[in-house]
Amino acid sequence: MTSLLEAPADPAVERRRAVQAAAASSLGRRKFASMVALGICWLFLLIAVVPLVAVIGYVIAKGLPAWNADFFTNSTVPEGYPGGGVWNAIVGTVVITVIATAVAVPVGLSCGLFLAESDGRAAAVLRFTADVMTGIPSIIVGIFGYIAIVRNFGGYSGFAGAFAIGFIMLPVIVRAGETAFRGVPRSLNEAALALGARRSTVARRVVVPTALPGVITGVLLAVARGLGETAPLLLTIFGNQYLQWNPSKSMEALPILIYNYSSQPYADLVQVAWGAALLLMVVVLVLSIGSRLVAAYLRKERR
């Protein structure tokens, strides 16, 4: 009986030894390269975080001093006059966003429901259309709003702005809705149908309630996106330095105010722009964070 030590050399073992030796001899070099490369990744993380934090920090530091009672209750005033605010811009932004949301949400969710229940060729085309529409440069949506509404319906108006903003929100809601509705387990659907429920009842009682967290997230994100759009509004509502509640007239909006005031040579107007930027950013971030919290809460409650 031969001992293990005297066994004839197995070529496979030999080869493995050679590979292991090579790996061991290059281990130091590979570890060093790994350290350097991962260090660069950390560095890039830092480089990415710094400007993003700086933007938020600056907006808070420069915008907060602009916030006072006048800022929220008075309309804009010309340079040099005290007591100016952004009330007209807040009204415009709220009115436009509410109209856009009120139209885009039911239409978008119906389309989402349709897409979630369809697998045909037409649905695929529609789905792709929605995807491409989310990426259309917003300025062109502004052009569309101008062509379709401003030209045909008596000039610049809040309705034209709401049309453009709604157009931007719509594909986001369609796709978010479809994703949420598709997440509803098939078994739930089929159980309801087997009980004799009609499809509309299944949608109302089963699909929509189950998909609610996803739907709410999608809608709030779409609203947040609509709130910050500037370019389409410049081409559709034009801006208005006076308070205007009537959406069939030209209105002011927060993004337009920021855009116009930022290039003004007057410190007090730039100050108002920072204040408005902070307000817009806070609202958008609250909506984004809120959407996550609501979704998380609803999911937890269900369990």
Kindly state the smallest distance separating residue 178's Cβ from other proteins, in Å: 8
Place of tokens 């709220």: 94
Integer Cα distance of 103 and 162 in angstroms: 9
Instruction: Please choose, from the candidates 144, 147, 124, the residue with its C-alpha nearest in 3D space to the C-alpha of residue 136.
Output: 144
Q: How far is the CB of 163 from other proteins (least distance, A)?
A: 10
Residue closer to other proteins (CB basis): 95 or 224: 224
The answer for 80, left when phi > 0, alpha when psi is -120 to 50, beta otherwise, is left
Task: Output 68 or 129, the one with its CB closest to other proteins.
Answer: 129
Question: What is the Cα–Cα distance from 133 to 211, expressed in whole angstroms?
Answer: 23
The amino acid sitting at 48 is A
Q: Which is nearer to other proteins, 58 or 242 (CB)?
A: 58
Smallest separation (angstroms) from other proteins to the CB of 128: 7
Residue 146 CB, shortest distance to other proteins, in Å, is: 8
State in angstroms the smallest separation of the CB of 130 from other proteins. 8
For the CB of residue 94, give the shortest distance to other proteins in the complex, in Å: 15
Smaller CB separation from other proteins, 88 or 178:
178
Nearest residue (CB) to other proteins, 160 versus 174: 174
> Measured from the CB atom, is 85 or 177 closer to other proteins?
177
CB of 216 to other proteins, least distance (A): 12
Residue number, 26 or 68, with CB nearest to other proteins? 26
What whole-number distance in Å separates Cα of residue 139 and Cα of residue 145? 10
CA distance 236 to 138: 12
